[in-house]
Chain A
Amino acid sequence: MVTVDITCDLMDEDETGYVWTFLHEARDPSLIEPGALVVAGDEDAPAIAEVIDIVEKPAGKIVHLRILPGVIEDYEALITRAVTSAS
């Protein structure tokens, strides 16, 4: 089970070319700041994403996300390998 930091549709891109969603979709908005790595999407399709920016738009605060390549298990494997190698 994956805990998603910010819910979004991974296909929702806007004029910036980044995925967008509302800041109020974040589980904990304090986690969402430019440069942060977060889990975005939903439980069925989570992805690692970099927060690019938070912009004020007429409808509310919009978060832009750069979805990193691959699937979340790739990152899990990377961390496991790195931690195991270091010990």
Chain B
Amino acid sequence: MGQVERQELRPILRAESVPADGIVVVRGGPTSLARVLSHAQRTHDAFVLDGQPIWGISVFCALDDLGGASLDSLLRRFASYRVVHLPRVSDLREAGFELLPTFGRPHYTVTLSGPDRAEALLAALGKAEPNPYHERRPGRR
């Protein structure tokens, strides 16, 4: 069976410095081991990095105090998630994960060396917290 071609991520990476340790990372929840594996598998099936297989899940970093990359804006944007995981960049780094600046700011891909790291990533994401924007909204009666 031939090898499936996948899209190369390198040309798509944003040229920007890595986010500071204190930056909050937004990941929709609730996340489970099965979900981390499933999302990482989808990334693996679609992309490569420098020609090599890649495993990863999407996150958004709250890079700014105001505007589309602020924590408030991201929580509102992802209102479909009743809970969110809000680790710091340092939590992911200390657990051995990298954040690749992929696609549009402030999207990142947290990369795993393989599916065997999914459990460690799940732990690093931390406890899920309620998303204040997933609630009763104006006009809903």
Contact = CB atoms under 8 A, between A and B. Distances in A.
Contact of B4 (A45, A59, A62, A67): A59
Given A9-B42, A14-B103, A70-B137, A58 B78 contact: no
Nearest to B44: A59
Interface residues of B, number: 32
A51 to B, nearest CB: 17
A14 B7 CA distance: 11
Nearest to B81: A45
Interface of A: 9-15, 17, 20-22, 41-42, 44-47, 57-60, 62, 67, 69-74, 77-78, 81
B27 interface: yes
B64 to A, nearest CB: 18
Nearest to A16: B103
Given A13-B107, A45-B28, A59 B46 contact: yes
Contacts of A70: 79, 137
Contacts of B134: 71
